[in-house]
Structure 1
Amino acid sequence: MQDAADEPARDEPAAAGAELPPVGEAGAHRRPAAALRLANVMAVIGHAVLAAIALVVLVILRTELAAWIVLAGVLPALALWMVLDLAVLNRWEQRFYSYTVTDDFVYVTSGRFFRTTRTVPTPHILAVETQQGPLQRALDLMTVQLTTIAGQDELGPIAPADAERVRDRVTRVLLERSDG
């Protein structure tokens, strides 16, 4: 069975006046499977850093109480949280993240436990850029940064071709509206 996240991206209709999806409804596109791998790598790195900090505290304090707290409490709790992150939480986040880009808006839904819906009207976007850090580059992913007068919104990580398509579409719409 193919995961919905593995589906290739489809171009949405370019019709002006496209209808906004109902709040909380999934968007037309999902993150690629590589986004789950990125989330898992970031979780492992984060938990490893926290474990290293706990061990440094243990070495500095050198008490029996610190040993019990770190070895019997902190490290097992970190290991359990990492397993939970890798097995459940990151998959939920992946499953519930979707987006739609039209000439009129960028619509993003996300959330593990609390559903968040962000709608950015395209005319309110001041700048659009793509970003790709070293881990994203290694996993062939990219993030789209949308700057509005109210702040910044991120879309992604998504496939580079999809990120470029979003960037080009938003830029085209902004240029057409500024010329017209």
Structure 2
Amino acid sequence: MKGQRIGYVRVSTFDQNVDRQLEGQSLDRTFTDKASGKDVNRPQLEALLTFAREGDTVVVHSMDRLARNLDDLRKLVQGLTKRGIRIEFEKESLSFSGEDSPMANLMLSVMGAFAEFERALIRERQREGIAIARQRGAYRGRKRSLSDEMIADLHRRVAAGERKATIARDMGISRETLYQYLRAAA
């Protein structure tokens, strides 16, 4: 019995176009995540892993769309192939079935290492850009979530003994953000 061809698409932000990744592919079903590839905690990836069955083929545009970390990439590929699921990476023209040659496994490691290296370079450039902007006085961090009046209300409510989780929820901020406002006032 021939299995299904299942596509997996990932973009980092909501405004990125997902259409180009598996364009022209004949797929029975596609799972799309709009999330960072820094880890494997992505809802549609988890749904794909639950959905895929022995005999299926998972099609991904490129390795860095599946994982940006070599360990995660290997675990995902090995986990799928051990279940009898084939995985194809279009950009790299590589496929893995569990009966792979040593050369295919080497290519997985090399290409996965490049994806991890690329992510590290992106983070490094971002840190450098922020440092340069700070020196110029152009980087001030993220815009404050609360107005001065809301901050005063926050302090009043905390002083009155109200639960911080309730205050944060009412103001539409996380508890960590609430604590940052409290530390800033100290």
What is the TM-score normalised by the length of structure 2?
0.31
Q: Which has the higher contact order (CA 8 A, sep 6+)?
A: 1
Higher strand share: 1
Larger radius of gyration: 2
